[in-house]
């Protein structure tokens, strides 16, 4: 650890700049300008150079590109659909879930839609949360709660909570799709104005 730290300092900007300043001090020594205090001059110039050197800039962490995140998310969505295909849901919840997954599938379809998503990290996060957390948790909780309800009848039917949860998630996905559509509409209107203004000149 100490050796690697030493090697990093040897290659650092501070050491290289200080070394260059120290060499300038040696040059002054050889010309006789530093006099008898040449060690102090060399050390002082080295220290000044090290202090004036720009700080080291660590490399930014290589986070996954949004488009790569969407590629991974498509694979997770396929796994989610396979899981949902094995779950027996009441008709109302199944219908709401079908609407939700249809919207998510459209948003994850490769092409211009995902190109628009890739520049909106918050949208990617919303989709990722729905696919990887919200939907599987809602369905799994329903399955487990339904089993207990059969043992203790008379409690509130768990499918009501599932339907409400899926409705909220569907509204989120629909709002995301609407925002993307409105962004494209604004882009089209902007281009129209640009062409009209260009034609006036």
pLDDT in tens, 89-136: 999 999 999 999 999 999 998 877 777 777 788 888 899 999 999 999
**Domain identity same for 10 and 86:** no
pLDDT of residue 115: 77
**Domain identity same for 96 and 177:** yes
**Domain identity same for 46 and 70:** no
Spatial CB neighbours of 101, under 8 Å, sequence gap ≥ 6? 80, 81, 84, 135
State the pLDDT confidence band at 10, using cuts at 50, 70 and 90.
very low
**Domain identity same for 42 and 70:** no
**Domain identity same for 94 and 144:** yes
- The answer to whether residue 15 scores a pLDDT higher than 60 is no
**Domain that includes residue 26, residue range:** 2-52
Q: Is residue 17 part of a domain?
A: yes
State the pLDDT confidence band at 158, using cuts at 50, 70 and 90.
confident
**Domain identity same for 43 and 134:** no
Q: Is residue 154 part of a domain?
A: yes
pLDDT of residue 62: 62
**Domain identity same for 184 and 135:** yes
Spatial CB neighbours of 102, under 8 Å, sequence gap ≥ 6? none
pTM: 0.63
What is the torsion angle, in degrees rounded to the nearest 10, for the CA atoms of residue 9, residue 13, residue 19 and residue 20? 170
**Domain identity same for 185 and 127:** yes
For the chain, give the mean pLDDT.
Answer: 78
* CB 124 within 8 Å of CB 118: yes
* Segment 57-86 mean pLDDT: 81
Q: Is residue 103 part of a domain?
A: yes
């Amino acid at each position: 650890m100490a050796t690697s730290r030493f090697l990093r300092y040897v290659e650092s900007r501070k050491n290289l700049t200080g070394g260059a300043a120290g060499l300038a001090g040696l040059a002054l020594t050889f010309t006789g300008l530093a006099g008898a205090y040449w060690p102090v001059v060399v050390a002082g110039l080295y220290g000044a150079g090290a202090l004036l050197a720009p700080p080291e800039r660590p490399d930014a962490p290589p986070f996954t590109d949004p488009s790569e995140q969407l590629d991974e998310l498509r694979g997770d969505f396929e796994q989610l659909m396979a899981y949902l295909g094995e779950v027996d849901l009441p008709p109302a919840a199944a219908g709401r879930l079908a609407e939700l997954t249809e919207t998510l599938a459209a948003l994850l379809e490769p092409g211009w839609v995902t190109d628009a998503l890739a520049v909106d990290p918050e949208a990617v996060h919303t989709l990722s949360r729905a696919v990887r957390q919200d939907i599987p948790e809602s369905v799994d909780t329903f399955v487990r709660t339904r089993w207990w309800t059969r043992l203790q009848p008379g409690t509130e039917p768990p499918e009501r909570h599932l339907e409400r949860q899926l409705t909220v998630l569907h509204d989120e996905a629909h709002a995301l799709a609407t925002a993307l559509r409105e962004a494209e509409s604004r882009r089209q209107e902007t281009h129209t104005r640009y062409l009209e203004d260009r034609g006036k000149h």
